[in-house]
């Protein structure tokens, strides 16, 4: 039922977008696009995925999975491909867990590494929006500032609730142990520093990506404004209301560029190009999958001490 609701919402969003869009203006924007900036954006997307794969590797290594960075990159690109072709945002993460687990029988440990990697990335995503609010030279509308700080407060409460939940008596002992493992991963000082650095690289690449596309379209948007736009639109896309955030990305981009006076056609062109960069990189993952570069073979396990 949820799948059909998402399909209906996605269709509704695209119907509204199509009805309000001046497609001749969008076509003109695409015709005037500087292709070198689009290719630069795709390159930045690839770099962001490599940094994300390295972040995942760091968490997985703490849980005694021994793989080279190339394997994690392959799994991540394949995950992107399945996130594109499956009607869910978590399909790619399911594939990453499946590949990392292989036949090791350590499904929870594989899942914990992906969860910890996602939580770290999400926290830095929210932190990037907060920094953007502080450094943006453009006066932001009240609702935008309130949204950023409200989400930041929610993220802090969410992380703080993990040690509370692990003591909740209604949870099974197994679930409490799993939460303890996740909490240990997130609070290990050296690991947190290393993974946070990777997350910062991911966010810098994502911001530069959209900035390049904006330049390619001739948009006069300060790069610091993208520090707010990119994280907030990315967070909107996580809402389980449409297929893979489609329609939400476009509507969110228009909404956040309105305060700068950017017309809807230009905003939609930027959102469409943003989507095409993701498609291009996801299709690379399809090639990796079809060529069998990641076969899901058993993963080495070194039974040493527990994560610190």
Per-residue confidence (pLDDT) for residue 302, from 0 to 100: 42
pTM for the whole structure? 0.87
- DSSP letters along 93-150, please? HHHHHHHHHTTSS-HHHHHHHHHHHHHHHHHHHHHHHHHHHHH-SSPPPHHHHHHHHH
Handedness of CA 100, 87, 232, 268 (dihedral sign): positive
Per-residue confidence (pLDDT) for residue 1, from 0 to 100: 55
pLDDT band at 6 (very low <50, low <70, confident <90, very high): low
Give CA–CA dist 289/95, Å, rounded: 11
Per-residue confidence (pLDDT) for residue 279, from 0 to 100: 93
Give CA–CA dist 128/118, Å, rounded: 15
User: What is the per-residue pLDDT across 13-41, written as a single tens digit (0 to 9) for each?
Assistant: 767 776 767 777 778 888 889 999 999 99
Q: Is the pLDDT at 301 greater than 60, yes or no?
A: no
Helix-helix angle 264-291:69-85, to 10 degrees: 120
Q: Is the pLDDT at 143 greater than 90, yes or no?
A: yes
User: What is the per-residue pLDDT across 196-248, written as a single tens digit (0 to 9) for each?
Assistant: 999 999 999 999 999 999 999 999 999 999 999 999 999 988 877 776 677 88
Per-residue confidence (pLDDT) for residue 308, from 0 to 100: 35
Do the Cβ atoms of 275 and 41 come closer than 8 Å? no
Mean pLDDT computed over every residue of the chain: 86
Q: Which residue has the tokens 């009805």?
A: 19
Give CA–CA dist 94/92, Å, rounded: 5
Supply φ then ψ for residue 240, to 5 degrees.
Answer: -80, 60
Residues with Cβ within 8 Å of residue 204, at least 6 apart in sequence: none
Handedness of CA 129, 133, 136, 141 (dihedral sign): positive
């Amino acid at each position: 039922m949820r799948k059909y609701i998402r399909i209906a919402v996605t269709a509704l969003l695209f119907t509204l977008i199509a009805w309000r869009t001046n497609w001749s203006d969008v076509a003109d924007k695409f015709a005037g696009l500087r292709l070198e900036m689009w290719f630069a954006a795709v390159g930045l997307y690839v770099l962001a995925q490599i940094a994300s794969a390295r972040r995942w590797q760091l968490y997985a290594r703490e849980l005694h999975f021994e793989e080279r960075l190339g394997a994690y990159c392959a799994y991540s690109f394949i995950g992107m491909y399945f996130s594109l072709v499956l009607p869910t945002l978590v399909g790619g993460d399911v594939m990453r867990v499946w590949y990392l687990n292989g036949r090791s029988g350590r499904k929870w440990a594989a899942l914990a590494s992906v969860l910890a990697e996602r939580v770290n990335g999400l926290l830095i995503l929210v932190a990037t929006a907060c920094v953007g609010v502080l450094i943006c030279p453009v006066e932001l509308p009240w609702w935008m500032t309130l949204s950023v700080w409200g989400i930041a407060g929610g993220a802090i409460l969410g992380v703080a609730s993990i040690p509370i939940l692990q003591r909740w008596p209604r949870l099974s002992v197994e679930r409490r142990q799993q939460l303890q493992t996740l909490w240990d991963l997130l609070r290990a000082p050296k690991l947190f520093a290393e993974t946070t650095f990777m997350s910062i690289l991911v966010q810098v690449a994502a911001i530069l990506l959209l900035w390049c596309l904006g330049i390619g379209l001739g948009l006069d948007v300060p790069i610091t404004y993208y520090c707010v736009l990119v994280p907030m639109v990315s967070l909107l896309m996580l809402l389980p209301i449409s297929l893979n955030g489609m329609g939400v990305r476009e509507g969110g981009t228009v909404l956040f560029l309105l305060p700068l006076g950017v017309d809807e056609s230009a905003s939609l062109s930027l959102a469409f190009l943003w989507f095409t960069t993701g498609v291009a990189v996801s299709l690379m993952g399809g090639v990796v999958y079809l060529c069998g570069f990641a076969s899901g073979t058993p993963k080495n396990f070194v039974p040493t001490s527990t994560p610190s």
